[in-house]
Amino acid sequence: MAQVFRLTAGIDEAGRGPLAGPVVAAAVLIPEGKGIPQLIKDSKKLSEKQREEMYAFITAHYLYGVGQADHTEIDRLNILQATFLAMRRAAAALQEKTPVELCLVDGNKTIPNLKIAQKAIVKGDAKIKEISAASIVAKVTRDRLMLKLHEEYPQYNFAENKGYCTDWHVSALRQYGRSPVHRRSFTYPGEIEQRSLF
């Protein structure tokens, strides 16, 4: 007979692709009987305003944990392993609030060294509400962190690009070089011929 998991959390991340800043993960458990708004879906399909509204709802009504790995950990471990580290931290933060029996992880890989039963779900952020909620929390949390970094390094326009490889960002990198929060293990278009600058 199949085991029934009642305390199931979704885990997702934001920030694997950018050139700067941390990767952020969230783990969300929806308590039994709590409503699920229609707008809880893959964060990429929501506007910024909708994400903020759903973030407020999720953090007020659901149980969640957030974890991150900063740019130095990304450079030391590589982005995949740093993402797993952020996910383990998010799961641990959730476990401080409630027992978790099963984690549903967005993607095709499970999390190494996670001492909770888990299952990888390809495109889980579009299929599983717990993962959708986690994608929203991770995205909003990271975006807010990048807004703070924008105040320190306004020349890179992190408020708009969130550290991703936009034309503006690449132009700023060519003009100013990397900031202390840029990932040294990542490259950007045109960097090879300018590598001596960094």
Residue-range domain boundaries for the chain = 8-142
State residue 190's pLDDT score: 64
152 is in an annotated binding site: no
- Per-residue pLDDT tens digits for 82-136: 999 999 999 999 999 999 999 999 999 999 999 999 999 999 999 999 999 999 9
* Spatial strand order in the sheet of 102-106: 63-69, 23-29, 8-14, 102-106, 117-121
Q: Mean pLDDT for the chain?
A: 93
75 is in an annotated binding site: no
- Per-residue pLDDT tens digits for 136-184: 999 999 999 999 999 999 999 999 999 999 999 999 999 999 999 999 9
**Which residue in 25, 2, 5, 3 sits closest to 14, CA to CA?**
25
Q: What is the pTM of this model?
A: 0.93
- The answer to whether 156 and 176 have CB atoms below 8 angstroms apart is yes
Q: Does domain 8-142 have CATH number 3.40.50.150?
A: no
State residue 195's pLDDT score: 43
Tell me the Ramachandran region of residue 78: left when phi exceeds 0, alpha when psi lies from -120 to 50, beta otherwise. left
13 is in an annotated binding site: yes
